[in-house]
Amino acid sequence: MGVEIATEHYAAATVYPEGPRAVSSTPRAAAGRVWALLTAKPVVEFALVFLAYFVAGKLGQATTNIRSSNLGPVWPAYGIAVAAFLAFGHRAWLAVAPSAFLVAYQSPVPALAAAGQTIGATLAAASAAFFLRRIADFDPTLPRLRDALGFITQAALGSALVSATVGVASLYLTHVQAYSGLGSAWLIYWLGDSTGVLLVTPLVFTLPALFAPRSRRRGVECAAVMTLSAVACLIVFGGLPLVSIQFDVLAFAVLPFVMWAAIDFGIGGAALSVFIIATIATLSTALGLGPFTGQGAFVGAVLLDTLFMVLAVSGLTLAAVIAEREHAEAARAGLVRERMAMESRLRLAAIVESSNDAILSTDMGRTILSWNAAAERIFGFTAAEVVGRPVTMLIPDVLQDEAKNLFDRLKAGERVDHFETIRLAKSGKQVPVSLKISPVADADGRLVGSASICRDISEQKRIKEALSNVNRKLIEAQEQERSRIARELHDDVAQRLALLAFDVEELVAHTTTAPPLHDKSVALRDRVSELATDVQALSHELHSPKLQLLGITSAIRDFSEEAARHQNAMVDFDAHDVPEHVPPDISLCLFRVVQEGVHNAVKHSGVRHVQVRLWGTAGQLHLVVSDHGAGFDVERATAGQGIGLVSMAERIKLVDGELAIESQPGRGTTIRARVRLAGEAERARSDR
């Protein structure tokens, strides 16, 4: 405080060079400094201690009927003094000593005796705090039996030896006689200070927690315990006409209520219950009521102090034992939870280390934090080589933008599942992987990093490529067989049908004189002609020469016209921006998709109108085949026995394209195909 005042004075002299006299000429500034001093935290603390000690002292002096000179059975002010030294340390004497002297001076003792009592009370309270702090981790709320026993023996019984000895010596040195002699005065002094500590000090530290917001049921129960304690004490000490028997031992009938309060509400409940009982018992005895009256002031005071000590010691120790047991059980439960969590972490670590997939974690700076054994096996880096380094070291330069997009998705809290990409091994080899990345948040929900699972799909890629090669060979074999059959139909069967048609035509010409035979010959000629046309159409469908000679647009347009003639269907075909030169494999793939889509629509949809759209964009060729017919369940059809949908999908895969089939029962069907073209394919476009 002296430093603050000196600093303030220096600041005032700097602002007002005229000196302190000029400063004092500004009442508002002076009042502000005074208010700052008065509201400083130490000043407020000392004022509270001074006032609390003074009020407690006056209450202790109020029971004049059972007091002698300046001594009485209970001295609650000493409990305030011990609490002050425990709460604020040695500087509490600045408030305790003046208040103690003022209280003693206002009693019927000389000033010298008041000073001696003040010194005794201050030294005793300071020694109580000193010795209690020697107890390891001492807590004034007494949550352990060790704290409670130390408090009872050192703060209550032990320190009161000092205050009683110094106080009684001061009284007798100033010729003040109390009770019936020196021994009696010392005993009452010691018992009064001891009970003051036992009754008041624990209450100071536990009362706020006891009155903290709690459930309504707990609040009602606490009020009930305190009320019953007060009622029981009134019955014993109130001198009620209904209770005619007055035995000293009946005073202990209130003990069960103290036990109840200690069990349910801990140190605070026990302290408050004993305080209520002590207040009622002391006032009743002072008024001449209760079992401790009629035996003289000394005996009544001793009996009161003995009762209060028994109640306080029993309640405090019981509450401390229960609190320590609950703390031990909570600690044991915490250890069990911690052990289970540790076992869970160990199991998780074992799973991570035994996984065949690379598992790693990164922070928000994309720095690698963990690296399992599978990651070392797949990428060749040890944990020491990658932990603490950016994860970008595993990403090829051409895929850095892709990785940044994935990171942006993670920052938005989005998960990434089964994302196929490329990562770099230590040798520089590119490893195809399937990524599963999850954002990681802390206990407060803040995003702190990510966890990634990288599955090496090199073998899957090889198997997929092998299957793709097999499918390609099968489709190539199928196309070769289609071409062979188409040639056989065109070059052999169609020619033979043509010769047969010529012979039938001659037969028609020679049977004009025989009408019945002539009619049969004409019908035979028509059937042969129709058969020849069908064979020619089948030959073109199996292998369209226009696809190779004129391109995909002309081939699909020709197929649409033949479908209209031979299948009694209308195919609405539209094409625009189609590259003039489309690779043969892509042309054949899309042509087969159109064939399959139109045949399925005519055969299964129940409609005869099919729309076909073909168009090109930058680097891509798009195809849509749609109808408004019956539709079907795509998943069920794909998993069924039909090979049409599977064939379309396999063909599209072989040209690195994408196929999507949209259909629902009663809502028609739309087949969408998209194929990427080479750089030269889209340069020349024509509207065909």
- The per-residue pLDDT for 232 is 87
Lowest mean pLDDT, pick from 155-159, 265-269, 503-507: 503-507
Q: What pLDDT is attached to residue 540?
A: 60
The answer to whether 620 and 677 have CB atoms below 8 angstroms apart is yes
Q: 601-624: per-residue pLDDT in tens?
A: 888 777 778 889 999 888 889 999
17 confidence band (pLDDT: 50, 70, 90): very low
What's the token pair of residue 513? 């004189």
At 99 the pLDDT is 93
Q: How far apart are CA 308 and CA 288, in angstroms?
A: 18
CB 671 within 8 A of CB 593: yes
pLDDT class of 682 with cuts at 50, 70, 90: very low
> From the CA atom positions of the chain, what is the Rg in Å?
52
Give the whole-angstrom CA distance, residue 346 versus residue 362. Answer: 20
Question: How many angstroms separate the Cα of 674 from the Cα of each of 557, 624, 677, 682?
Answer: 19, 9, 10, 14
Average pLDDT over residues 506-512: 71
Angle between helices 76-88 and 41-61 (to 10 degrees): 160
pLDDT (0 to 100) of residue 22: 40
Q: What is the pLDDT of residue 423?
A: 92
Q: What is the SS3 assignment for 469?
A: helix
**Higher-scoring residue by pLDDT: 207, 684:** 207
How high is the pLDDT of residue 687? 39
Residues 25-42: what's their mean pLDDT? 54
Structure confidence at residue 243 (pLDDT):
47
As given in the structure block, the two tokens for residue 547 are 């696809």
CB 128 within 8 A of CB 83: no
476 pLDDT above the threshold of 90: no
Q: What is the pLDDT of residue 544?
A: 62
Query: Average pLDDT of 152-174?
Result: 91
Tell how far CA 55 is from the center of its chain: 50
In angstroms, the CA 637 to CA 3 distance is: 91
pLDDT of residue 115: 92
Residue 508 pLDDT exceeds 50: yes
CA distance linking residue 489 with residue 537, whole number of Å: 10
Residue type, position 617, single letter: T
Cβ atoms of residues 104 and 118 within 8 Å: yes
Predicted confidence (pLDDT) at residue 570 exceeds the cutoff of 60 = yes
pLDDT at 242 over 60: no
> What's residue 482's pLDDT?
66
**Torsions phi, psi of 576, nearest 5?**
-155, 155
Q: Give the model's pLDDT for residue 165.
A: 93
Look-up: residue for tokens 């003990």?
255
| 429, two tokens | 């080899």
Give the DSSP H or E segment for 586: helix 584-600
Q: Which run of H or E residues covers position 57? A: helix 41-61
Is the pLDDT higher at 35 or at 322? 322
| Distance of alpha carbon 534 from alpha carbon 528, whole angstroms | 10
- Whether 236 has a pLDDT exceeding 50, the answer reads yes
pLDDT band (50, 70, 90) for residue 543:
low
Q: Is 380 helix (H, G, I), strand (E, B) or coil?
A: coil
Tens-place pLDDT, residues 331-367: 888 888 888 878 877 777 777 777 888 899 999 889 9
Among residues 245, 259, 328, the alpha carbon closest in space to that of 290 is found at 245
The most confident of the ranges 119-128, 294-303, 465-474 is 119-128
Phi, psi of 575 (to 5 degrees): -140, 140
Number of CB atoms found within 10 A of residue 666's CB? 9
Q: Can you give the pLDDT at residue 302?
A: 87
Rounded to 5, what percent of the chain is helix, strand, coil? 65, 15, 20
Residue 239 clears pLDDT 70, i.e. is over it: no
Please enumerate in sequence order all residues whose Cβ is within 8 A of that of 449, keeping only pairs 6 or more positions apart, or say none: 361, 362, 363, 364, 369, 439, 440
- The C-alpha torsion from 517 through 519 and 525 to 528, rounded to 10°, is -90
- Mean pLDDT across 301-316: 89
Per the CB < 8 A criterion, the answer to whether 673 and 658 are in contact is yes
The per-residue pLDDT for 18 is 40
**Directed axis angle between helix 76-88 and helix 93-105, to 10°?**
170
- Residue whose C-alpha is closest to residue 164's, from 145, 183, 140: 183
According to DSSP, the β-strands at 416-424 and 669-676 are unpaired
Q: How far are the Cα atoms of 560, 607, 677 from residue 568, in angstroms, in the given order? A: 11, 11, 34
DSSP H or E run through 408: helix 400-411
232, 257 contact by CB (below 8 A)? yes
The answer on pLDDT for 425 being more than 60 is yes
Mean pLDDT throughout 241-253? 60
Token pair 């006299």 is at which residue? Answer: 21
Q: Tell me: pLDDT of 10 over 60.
A: no
pLDDT of residue 2: 37
Q: What percent of the chain has pLDDT over 70?
A: 82
Q: Give the angle subtended at the CA of 442 by the CAs of 437 and 445, to the nearest 5°.
A: 90
pLDDT at 33 over 60: no
Mean pLDDT of the chain: 80
Which of 133-142, 241-250, 258-267, 423-432 is predicted least confidently? 241-250
Q: What is the pLDDT of residue 162?
A: 93
What's the rounded mean pLDDT across residues 189-217? Answer: 87
Residue by residue, DSSP assigns 287-303 as: TT-STT-SS-HHHHHHH
Rounded to two decimals, the pTM is: 0.54
User: Closest by alpha carbon to 435, among 536, 329, 362, 340?
Assistant: 362
* Each residue's pLDDT tens digit, 360-391: 999 988 999 999 988 999 999 999 999 999 99
Indicate the burial class of 249 (C-beta count within 10 angstroms; 0-12, 13-18, 19 or more): exposed
Can you give 123-171 as a three-state secondary structure string?
HHHHHHHHHHHCCCCCCCCCCCHHHHHHHHHHHHHHHHHHHHHHHHHHH
How far is C-alpha 350 from the chain's CA centre?
24
User: What span, in angstroms and rounded, lies between the C-alpha atoms of 204 and 271?
Assistant: 9
pLDDT exceeds 90 at position 122: yes
Question: How many residues does the structure list for the chain?
Answer: 688
Residue 477 has pLDDT above 60, yes or no: yes
Residue 601 per-residue DSSP state: I
pLDDT at 180 over 80: no
